[in-house]
Structure 1
Amino acid sequence: MSLDYPVNSLGFAKPPAETRVVVAMSGGVDSSAVAAQLASEGYDVVGVTLQLYDHGAALAKKGACCAGRDIHDARRVAETMGFPHYVLDYENTFREAVIDEFADAYLAGATPVPCIRCNERVKFKDLLNTARDLDADCMATGHYIQRKMGTAGPELHMAADHARDQSYFLFSTTAEQLAYLRFPLGHLESKAETRALAAKFGLTVADKPDSQDICFVPDGNYAAVIEKLRPGAADPGDIVDMDGNTLGQHRGVIHYTIGQRRGLGIGGLGDPLYVVQLDADAKRVVVGPKEALSTRIVPLREINWLGDAPLESRKEWPISVKVRSTRPPREAILRPISATEAQVELLSAEEGVSPGQACVFYDQDNTRVLGGGWIWRGH
């Protein structure tokens, strides 16, 4: 092989046929299109699908990520495109690393984001190690996010299609992982392009609907799953105002989220009231006026920093942040406390900032993701 072989589309100076890539295949259209595209370019593709839970169990639901149907769909894509496909049983790992923490966080009054933990603790940890064991040069996924080369190495950037951008869910990707990962869909302008790619290769998943809910939560009913995992979790208690006065009764803290207005069962009390705090220990749901939801100071821990200079090299970082996946980035100041702890000051107050959610950092001047951390206590 010539030493001056041109760099291929995955960034390696060798022919695609000599470049092995493990593709994380969920059975959906995104990862299927990635696998098919790379196979068509001549790469040595190996498809891997994780079975994350017993797809015959009550937790799973039809159409959920990595349920039985999805494993079948991923296998058919591999057969169509002619590359090997493996299914790995990650049930125990997924339960311990993702589902148990999800249940415990809800019981503690937090609002967890299990998709981030799944990427961090399963897909980009164990699966990535499996890819290395298979002597793969890199691992590719169907996430909508971009990996760009910067002056100090690979950088994480928002997807070209901001409506589908998944950077909020990938903030905990480390620099070492980023060096090994590839995101071939990040530059596409729309989901329609992905479906067209799948259709071009004759894949049966080309028109498959997107998964909307957390994969192990049937129909978005978190409370039912948590009651199944933690019997007795839905103990009733008091709904109180910010002065501690009892206004009514609730069906269990797990049925409520910060910022919730509807379904409180305490109508007719004047101005609308919102859930402003969940006190799981005292089994109390605290409600107050909308302005009580406004927050400017956000304490963070478990920070993953992706900036070129160390986090603690400055007292303040002017950045933009997302405190929920569905909100646009807002201007803020990041003040490091340690290498993994910091305080974020939002320049304009946000409502519904909740412990258990992520706060993700962005460069104010471009689309670069600078990392993020976990919001860890209330107002």
Structure 2
Amino acid sequence: MDDISTAGLLITLGLLILLSAFFSGTETAMMSLNRYRLRHLSQQGHRAAKRANTLLERPDRLIGLILIGNNLVNILASSIATVLGLRLFGQWGLAIATGSLTLVILIFAEVTPKTLAALYPEKLAYPNSLVLRPLMTLFYPLVWLVNLISNGLLRLLGVSTRSSGDDDLSADELRSVLNEASAMIPRRHREMLVSILDLEKVTVEDVMVPRNELYAIDINDDFKTMMKQLTHSPHSKVLLYRDNIDDVVGFLHLSDLLRLMAREQGVTDKATLLREVREIYYVPEGTPLNVQLLKFQRAKERLGLVVDEYGDIQGLVSLEDILEEIVGDFTTGLQPATSEEISKQDDGSYQVDASINIRDMNREMNWHFPTDGPKTLNGLVLEALEEIPKEHTSLSIGPYQIEVLEANESMVTTVRIEPK
């Protein structure tokens, strides 16, 4: 390098530092790309995204190429800096060149370009991939040799160098992504998407109408009594049973009843009515809601009776109950639009019907009572006290102070809740 002028060496050194910054920034930018956005843009025909995605399919080759280029320019820059140091500073030139070049490379070729690339990965990765593609072709033999040795060492450690594609998000990770995507997804839509993910954590017992609240009619009643009960039913589908609710006969759709009544002869006897009864669709207890939603769809059913392992009826679950877990509560004209089970008192406390479903209460009041045990507030109080309490018994569950207002021999009926 004796024949090259000092100015020429300085210019060459500057160009090498720029190349080092290019390789350092490109490495960070390529590895910081959002893989899901990259795949989406690639599928949409974005050329730069396709190039980047192709390079990232073999990250070992990409990293090998970038590091080969980065090390080549850094080593060459070090040699040139040494020559410049000896020319300009004599015997102290080596030390000065080493210290100065280290500082320059650290600031201008490492920290600054990598920080910029981490902040704006797409703006750097996409245009830089234009340069990487021909470089990969040019240096492929060297890249292949380096990767052969490196991958061999990794295989000895039991590490695969091919992109495994195992970067799919789990439900919890996807939930975190949705919660953090507040700027791009409306809050209501985000809540619905999170609710869909939560379906796998909720079972049919959490949303069903419990056995003691089922509206059902005994077919052994006289015909007039049955007709009166049917015409006053708050539901469009009525459960029919024989003597005991565990001996169910089927569901009667009120639309079928109206069709019969519209005929010339009308509904004249119980036998005519029972011919319109439809079969029962049974649902095992413990079935997650996401599974039951698919079962309803495949069976083309909207209603099912929840049964335990002994075949005893535990409650009734409908398609609407599952949909409410996703979209929130909605009502029909036959049901009140607001809850009658919770009433606010003058002192700021709440009087609550203890038969209320805990999940429904939490959703309505934005409370956080535990839902991994009993399904009703009565069950939660009994579990906490381990006995049937007397009236005016008080207890604390989490941050909530609860007082039993009314209770009978078998259950708590009314409580007062005072959130702390």
TM-score by length of 1: 0.24
Q: Hey, which of these two has a bigger chunk of helix by percent?
A: 2
TM-score by length of 2: 0.22
Greater relative contact order (Cα < 8 A, sep 6+) = 1
